[in-house]
Chains A and B, each alone.
Chain A
Amino acid sequence: MTANPDDGQQDFRDFAMARASQLFRIAYLMSGDWHEAEDLVQSTLTKLFVAWGRVQRRGSVDTYARRVLVNTYLSQRRLRRSGELPVADIGDAGAPSAVDAALRMTLLAALRELPARSRAVVILRHIDDQSVDSVAQLLGTTPAAVKSLNARGLSRLRELLGADQSLFFS
């Protein structure tokens, strides 16, 4: 309780407003669910807010945010694997526009077939343009493992999407 709650509040807001959309894109493709993605981003930003002064002093805000996001997502995956139960969907009024909606649905379905870590690697590498080393750092694994997960993930996506090529290039 010794931190000053006012520390860097505006800095936090500036950062969050600038990065939330990108964090959301990552979260949405990882989770495949609009509301879960919102929840992931909100949880990430909340943790970032609490730790802001310390994180900012270390100059690792972006890395911290991504790490929290990915770890929160992977933790939820682990929990869901043992206890997932259906939840009623009460609507997606804030869901994305119809543009590329078919592509997105097909891609989300394919991504859902990947193991969670592999999905995270593919998205961080190809949506967030993170380097192999950076992804390895985020996931707490080795660059070799990231390369392997990425290769396997892309290979699996290729299999799943192969038949639907016409959809993407129409």
Chain B
Amino acid sequence: MLNDGEIAELLQRAAADLHPAVDVLVSRAERRGRRRRRWRIAGIAGGNALAVIAVAALAYTASSHQPSVPARPVPGLAAGASSSSRPAPRPTPGPTPGTTPSPGKSAPSQHPMTQRQMLRLLRSLLPAGSSLSIVPPPYGATGRGSLEVDYNDGQGEADIMLDVTAFTTVSTTPTSSAVIPLTCPHPLWTNEGTRPAGALPISCQVRHVPGIGLERDAVMYADSFGFYGINIYLYRADHTEVFIQVGNGYFDPALPHVDRARPPGSMALWETVVQNPAWHA
């Protein structure tokens, strides 16, 4: 029989050559942490288990996906929004390294999108006459696959965060060992502060988007500043996660400034944006 010291030695040996992609883990944690800190959103909260769906199980092939999932037309969409960069609000400590796709077998093969590519695509999907300006570091998201912009549709500025990353497995239950639970909390969230008059009601639904993947569409609770947003996660069958949050205000520079009752656009518009197949990780 093994003695205690030998068992300890075996444990040490078993763990010795485990080498996770530390830079990816840290960069993702920073990005998610930054998002949480700014939005005061606890992320995807637990809820009743629905069913486990591995995206790998969805009927999908790259050959059928790309040509068959064109971007849905956006009502009122014309030449697209204009965009610009604005100077950093204060000296920056340097950009946070971007993330790279996680190593799942079916991870997309393209390079993660640059901010410039993301901005260009986002701009092309938004109504003409609106404007976009990148929120620079340290407050804005940085690196490939991550973009934060101030968006103005003519009715007030709104903060938009957009992430496009690779993932391995997603499930609609918080209880599985899968990497990402995609659920709605029951009951739904509770406002921390006062929701502006005329605000969208809190809502959440997880659904299967035929030919594309799993999507969670939510209108979040208001934080203590009355700040809330439309929040969409799309987990595509090609293992690309597209995430967007569209607020009812902007950050100035770190505190939310609510300047409108509702986020710009509609849930349908932002669903169309995230479902555009041109996003890639």
Contacts and interface: CB of A to CB of B under 8 A. Distances in A.
Contact of A87 (B7, B36, B46, B54): B54
Contact of B17 (A82, A84, A97): A97
A104 B40 CA distance: 40
Interface in A5-23: 5-6, 9-10, 12-13, 16-17, 20-21
Contact of B103 (A24, A31, A82, A93): A93
A87 B52 contact: yes
B20 interface: yes
Contacts of A12: 30
B255 interface: yes
A16 B29 contact: yes
15 contacts: A20-B26, A28-B15, A46-B36, A48-B29, A52-B33, A79-B175, A84-B177, A88-B169, A91-B105, A96-B18, A103-B14, A108-B14, A127-B11, A127-B12, A165-B2
Kindly state the interface size class of chain A when it binds its partner: 35 or more
A9 B29 contact: no
Contacts of B173: 83, 85
Interface string A36-61: 11110110111111101000000000
B88 to A, nearest CB: 11
The 3 A-B pairs at the shortest CB distance, nearest first, are namely A49-B33, A45-B29, A91-B105
B175 A80 contact: yes
A121 interface: no
A28 B164 CA distance: 26
A19 to B, nearest CB: 9
Given A29-B14, A100-B17, 20 more contacts: A13-B26, A16-B30, A20-B26, A21-B19, A21-B20, A25-B18, A38-B25, A46-B32, A85-B51, A85-B175, A87-B54, A87-B177, A87-B178, A88-B169, A90-B104, A90-B168, A100-B14, A103-B14, A107-B14, A123-B11
A152 interface: no
Interface string B1-31: 1101011101111111111111101101110
B34 A21 contact: no
B179 A1 contact: no
A155 B16 CA distance: 23
B25 A162 contact: no
Contacts of A83: 49, 173, 175
